[in-house]
A = this chain, B = another copy of it.
């Protein structure tokens, strides 16, 4: 995990909102999309960025792809940021 890729991923408000949604429950792309006013390809792009940062994972369930928070990485990022902000 490189902090740079992680922070870049976190710098966009849409992506932060996706993470907030996935904190509550796993969701398909279509379900995530209902919370935004962007096209599916745009959302797919954001999911790609979050995937590359290893912040989310997905599994297939019939036709749908179900995305989830990658909890271990998410918590690791939290630790690193807390350390960064510790004076």
Contacts and interface: CB of A to CB of B under 8 A. Distances in A.
A87 interface: yes
A85 B85 CA distance: 14
A8 interface: yes
A82 interface: yes
A45 interface: no
The contact size tier of chain A is 20 to 34
Contacts of A86: 78
A52 to B, nearest CB: 15
A11 interface: yes
B81 A23 contact: no
27 contacts: A3-B13, A3-B16, A4-B13, A7-B7, A7-B10, A7-B11, A7-B16, A8-B11, A10-B11, A11-B11, A16-B84, A19-B84, A20-B84, A23-B87, A71-B87, A74-B85, A74-B87, A75-B85, A75-B87, A77-B85, A78-B81, A78-B82, A78-B85, A78-B86, A81-B81, A81-B82, A82-B82
